[in-house]
Structure 1
């Protein structure tokens, strides 16, 4: 007889505040990545995060798609059926490119994207406008996953995770450093690399890695191509890393000016969130800057 399987969250953070709050006044921030599904509940009135939950999964069979795992999460997590005031859906997908806003034409969005990325089956091509940076973020997401989430949440608010990260990075005064600052948002098997110098965005892309040395190589190579020195540039890490992890040690060995990103300022966080290292879930918290 088959054993019943219920997917469980990797992280589940909340307190009595959640039960005491009318969630129909709140915003749900949802972040979908490769093998990950996370969300945070935000009270816009108090600018306070009330809850966070994160799931990590691998398909039970080769043929099992992300959509089926997300459907299992919905079956197990009844909070997702709350009638939130607003739901923002964000996707951390590798198929993304930045286009200067003056050159962007909506009808050509697929052409911009597929100059740099291969076209995939069942993709929906979307874009986010970032006016304060003069950029448009063009990206592709799985059409079936997008359709399912839009239907379940009755929401058309969709964006790419990197749009939130760019807004968060822009609030960091260290982007003005002339020697350059590198932001690295690390996820399992992949990371987002973003480089600023003198207030200008020089690079943003997603890359795959097997070890910290792969990340070191991409950082050093990118900095040198941009005319910057890896020994002088600052590097800030985000994601589920710890100081005793192999990836961190390999980065620290070659990049002396290593530091962590922090949760966005201007928001309140429940005590249990402050017990988690401040660089964890940075990409999820950053979505609050977009609502």
Structure 2
């Protein structure tokens, strides 16, 4: 299937999903399309929104969840602290929604948010340069004049692993950095992290959905299952100095958590 075929399938899927809500046998559903229509979106607008849900952040969100979970599992200190926060929230009533945690509840858990931010920082789900074209009249960037039409990209990996911004342990997965930072430093760190999603009119349309998905999936996996690495010695072997990693003989047993 080539790119044009994929695009056609996406549009058809979005269109069919919305058309079902207007047919004579339409069923009432509690999903995002229903919410769009309930809040006054037209059929055309709902179709556009449905297309965004299909396209935005599918593979990249899956990568972010997998890699954040991998870093959590291979860092026992983080794994235990995160479980302790989730369990404490359940005991104190800060986490009561079933069958899945609400986005608002997840956002009130500081260590969970630190883990998610650090996971997004330490392993970029997108490694492309996200290039933009310089206007036809040219522009001056960081003191250098760039001719019109020049493609300018951003080295997200370099920025989010730079010691200038993240300290001597920039390459380490350490969620505590997000809790230790002062207000001004935290704002700078958060602004750097936004490079993942872009800025201004080029900002990722699926950012809100992506963060909400991570806020729901990661804590629910940890609340519901116990993860045990069979051989915890050096589970990750680095291949290159960039974003390439090789995992060999990395086996994890997953069992339902027992409720005390």
Greater length-normalized contact order (CA 8 Å, ≥ 6 residues apart): 2
TM-score, reference length from structure 1? 0.23
What TM-score do you get using the length of structure 2 for normalisation?
0.25
Structure (1 or 2) with the larger CA radius of gyration:
2
More strand by percentage: 1
- Normalized per residue, the structure richer in helix is 2
